[in-house]
Structure 1
Amino acid sequence: MGFTTSANKREGTPVKANDLQLLQCFSILKIKLQLWAILLLMALSQSEAFDPLDPFGNITIKWDVVSWTADGYVASVIMNNYQMYRHINTPGWTLGWNWAKKEVIWSIVGAQATEQGDCSKFKGNVPHCCKKNPIIVDLLPGVPYNQQYANCCKGGVVASWGQDPSAAVSAFQVSVGVAGTSNKTLKLPKDFVLMGPGPGYTCGPAEVVPSTVFFTPDHRRKTQALMTWTVTCTYSQILSSKYPICCVSFSSFYNETMTPCPSCACGCHNKKDCIMSDSKRLTTLGINTPKKDNTPLLQCTHHMCPIRVHWHVKINYRDYWRVKIAVTNFNYRMNYTQWTLVAQHPNLNNVTQVFSFDYKPLVPYQAINDTAMFYGMKFYNDLLMEAGPLGNVQSEVLLRKDKTTFTLKQGWGFPRKIYFNGDECKLPPPDSYPFLPNSAHEIPSFYSTMVAIILSLLINIMM
């Protein structure tokens, strides 16, 4: 006997059992798809730390318990920066957590706690730190040898993985007391907070992982940590700053109009918050000294950004084209060490030569090579000085034309995204890009070269 629905009863049309089961399957599938869509939206709303150009970038903090003590343990704490182009700049990282019980830090090698806390209940041997929520910082270079630990003592500065993997690590050793003395009694620290050097990082919970295996110095014998746990921290530009920290301006040899950074690209400020480039205040002693809270002293500009990146389409050859990139610092209190610049453009898959920056292609999904990282040459221009005559670095990039896509029309020659030190910069609106004149279907090479030279000279004078 067939089944009928209320709608079909009115029409007197029976519905077979197989059809009803099919309808039920479709209903269940629809509900599941809706649930998946809701979960996906929730995940996306909470994943503001996701970086499409560096999808697997994070800072992983690993704790290896290397020995048990009478009342606790000794652990090696290693911080690895797996971010391709985001490093921790001066004044360096700050790491904090909450103890699960009433643990104390008896001693630290290679770092120090910023506060000792109340250790009054201890007689004789007093711990290094008794706070429930200790804050740890790296030691400065040049400390005595007996206070050093491998990969410590760099003032908290950690390079990006893409720029220098050997320098993308920081470490210290900590002796913990009033704690568990075995894998069963030890309680993991919680509520980790990483500042580097400002906000922006969110850390997950500590998770126990397979114990780390070490080699002895002669590499002939393996040893193993007694217990290992890791903490993963990811970066979000939204959490780091309300406004962008950089902006981008454009120019080209085929148009005399320069496209400036958008007004108030990094937020509008009062005149008291900035300083004119010819102000007598700049001669004041200590004007360039960074403040404890890292507040900038900006040169007064219409964009009010600490950093401006200028992209100039310089020359159009038959098989190649040439771009000039300049980075200018407008912060009188900040030097940028180990700076990085990331650009996304479809023709960056054909970089032929980079003249005074180091260069590395970035392929986020192993699908299309349209992203490049530029950074300063060591001991040459890897330090971007504070605002002033020396506060800029620049280079030129020669690219081979992709015959199927290359054009100078509709702003194709300008980047899709620009990042400085891992933060995305504010680009001008697309309708303001330097446009190719209607009559300039083919610009004579002599004319384009002369215009390029003149514009290049003007840009150098302005900087």
Structure 2
Amino acid sequence: MRFFIAALFLYVLLSSTAAYDPLDPNGNITIKWDIMSWTPDGYVAVVTMNNFQMFRHIMSPGWTLGWTWAKKEVIWTMVGSQTTEQGDCSKFKGNIPHCCKKTPTVVDLLPGVPYNQQFSNCCKGGVLAAWGQDPVASVSAFQVSVGQAGTTNKTVKLPKNFTLLGPGPGYTCGPAKIVPSTNFLTPDRRRKTQALMTWNVTCTYSQFLARKHPSCCVSFSSFYNETITSCPSCACGCENKHKCIKPESKLLSVVGVNTPRKDNTPLLQCTHHMCPVRVHWHVKVNYKDYWRAKIAITNFNYRLNYTQWTLVVQHPNLNNVTQVFSFDYKPLVPYGSINDTGMFYGMKFYNDLLMEAGQFGNVQSEVLLQKDKDTFTFKEGWAFPRKVYFNGEECMLPPPESYPFLPNSAPQSRAFLTTFIFCVAFVFLTMM
């Protein structure tokens, strides 16, 4: 009995903390349901999905939203989205509902649908940008007409058991909660209107629930040491190592090899780490008042392009970023005062697309940082990141003891001594 209670406590503890991200403590996806008007047997509502996660976005094939109706509701019509199944609507004659399922599943429409099927912030193929990267593109919305639902605030019952997939597992949604009604501006922006009823659902992401292995790893190198610290072996799991493809394999010339699968099964290049993505951090140059690091991101998945990718790095010297070359950069301050975290992402229409594995499957940049005289050092691996995230997933770092440390005899002292001896010898020879 004691073991059962302890196991239950541990499960609850893990479930409650797994979704908490210390670098994005307030990150979530909020689904807002606004009833705009009543109909003879229900209501018309606008459903808005806001991605408030700073650096985690939903990429193609996009989000999938589901719930369970509280009563016997049906969906008469939808604008800006559609359900994946209609369900059994045999009891209806004449006017057939869009969906009669007790548990409907809704997906976004693809870009380019006819104008009469579009709604504001719809039709992006379910792709949602991270709020910290592109707030305008972090919103998705659709309109739904619900029947057999009640026609007053007292008779309408909130849906239950909300689920969000985006495009895989990992999101956990809380219960719907009634909140103060949303205010809207009329199209001429001269008058405010108010929703008749509003409820919110908050969904949070957990990498622990999404997958049992990391999806990226980190390697290190430096100008002061010939050692290259590789990603840990089997950093992303080696269960599928027998299915990987070598770069010179003839299979890569087969038509359709780069086409993504519906279940998102990767086709990985054979590596010792077996990760879809590797991030390499190279300490490149040491100046008097500055130092420079090079960042390279490599895609080892032959079936996936990473659109609107993000890279988050935690490092104590990111409070003094001077210049970032060929990436966009935004500091993240998760605790309001400690400025040690930043987000790198691709420039629009230039390198915001990380191509599938192969010749063009990498992007790279350099960052110039000003030295903080009180804390700066190259000793004990200080110049390397503390945490690295790619597309919102925490990457596996090498063990600290393997970092490229400074040589035992500091090269600065040896160089100074050599220069001093040379100068003394030069002066002595000129005096002879």
Same fold per superposition (TM over 0.5): yes
How high is the TM-score relative to the length of structure 2? 0.93
2:161 is aligned to 191
Structure 1 CA distance for aligned equivalents of residues 393 and 180 of structure 2: 34
Structure 2 CA distance for aligned equivalents of residues 251 and 161 of structure 1: 32
2:386 matched to 1:397?
A: no
1:218 Cα deviation from its structure 2 partner:
1.4
Structure 1 CA distance for aligned equivalents of residues 18 and 180 of structure 2: 29
On the 8 A contact 2:241/2:274 being kept in 1, the answer is: no
On the 8 A contact 1:65/1:74 being kept in 2, the answer is: yes
- 1:22-56 CA distance string (max 9 Å, x none): xxxxxxxxxxxxxxxxx999656622100000000
Corresponding letter in the other structure for 1:277:
P
Corresponding letter in the other structure for 1:408:
F
1:271 Cα deviation from its structure 2 partner:
4.0
Q: For 1:290, which of 240, 243, 260 is the aligned residue?
A: 260
1:441 Cα deviation from its structure 2 partner:
4.5
2:343 matched to 1:373?
A: yes
On the 8 A contact 1:252/1:312 being kept in 2, the answer is: yes
* Aligned pairs for 1:24-423 within 5 A: 46-423=16-393
SS at match of 2:17: coil
For the structure 1 residues 254 and 219, does the alpha-carbon distance in structure 2 shift closer, same or farther, using more than 3 Å as the test? same
SS at match of 2:121: coil
Corresponding letter in the other structure for 2:311:
L
Structure 2 CA distance for aligned equivalents of residues 306 and 45 of structure 1: 27
2:4 is aligned to none
On the 8 A contact 1:244/1:426 being kept in 2, the answer is: yes
- 1:393-413 CA distance string (max 9 Å, x none): 000000000001111010000
Corresponding letter in the other structure for 1:182:
T
Larger Rg belongs to: 1
Corresponding letter in the other structure for 2:34:
D
* Aligned pairs for 1:425-440 within 5 A: 425-440=395-410
Gaps of 5+ in 1: 1-38, 447-463
For the structure 1 residues 445 and 143, does the alpha-carbon distance in structure 2 shift closer, same or farther, using more than 3 Å as the test? farther
1:444 Cα deviation from its structure 2 partner:
8.5
On the 8 A contact 1:299/1:332 being kept in 2, the answer is: yes
- 1:232-282 CA distance string (max 9 Å, x none): 000000011110000000000001110000000000134432111110000
Structure 1 CA distance for aligned equivalents of residues 320 and 152 of structure 2: 56
1:325 Cα deviation from its structure 2 partner:
0.2
On the 8 A contact 2:313/2:343 being kept in 1, the answer is: yes
SS at match of 1:46: helix
1:213 Cα deviation from its structure 2 partner:
0.6
- 1:125-160 CA distance string (max 9 Å, x none): 111111100000000000000000000000000000
Structure 2 CA distance for aligned equivalents of residues 271 and 45 of structure 1: 30
2:419 is aligned to none
On the 8 A contact 1:269/1:304 being kept in 2, the answer is: no
Identity %: 78
Structure 2 CA distance for aligned equivalents of residues 107 and 115 of structure 1: 13
Structure 1 CA distance for aligned equivalents of residues 293 and 414 of structure 2: 18
Structure 2 CA distance for aligned equivalents of residues 252 and 269 of structure 1: 32
Structure 2 CA distance for aligned equivalents of residues 268 and 43 of structure 1: 29
1:25 is aligned to none
For the structure 1 residues 249 and 125, does the alpha-carbon distance in structure 2 shift closer, same or farther, using more than 3 Å as the test? same
How many residue pairs align between the two structures? Answer: 409
For the structure 1 residues 254 and 292, does the alpha-carbon distance in structure 2 shift closer, same or farther, using more than 3 Å as the test? same
On the 8 A contact 1:107/1:128 being kept in 2, the answer is: yes
SS at match of 1:299: coil
Structure 1 CA distance for aligned equivalents of residues 269 and 413 of structure 2: 38
For the structure 1 residues 237 and 365, does the alpha-carbon distance in structure 2 shift closer, same or farther, using more than 3 Å as the test? same
On the 8 A contact 2:311/2:389 being kept in 1, the answer is: yes
Structure 1 CA distance for aligned equivalents of residues 349 and 89 of structure 2: 45
Structure 2 CA distance for aligned equivalents of residues 244 and 43 of structure 1: 21
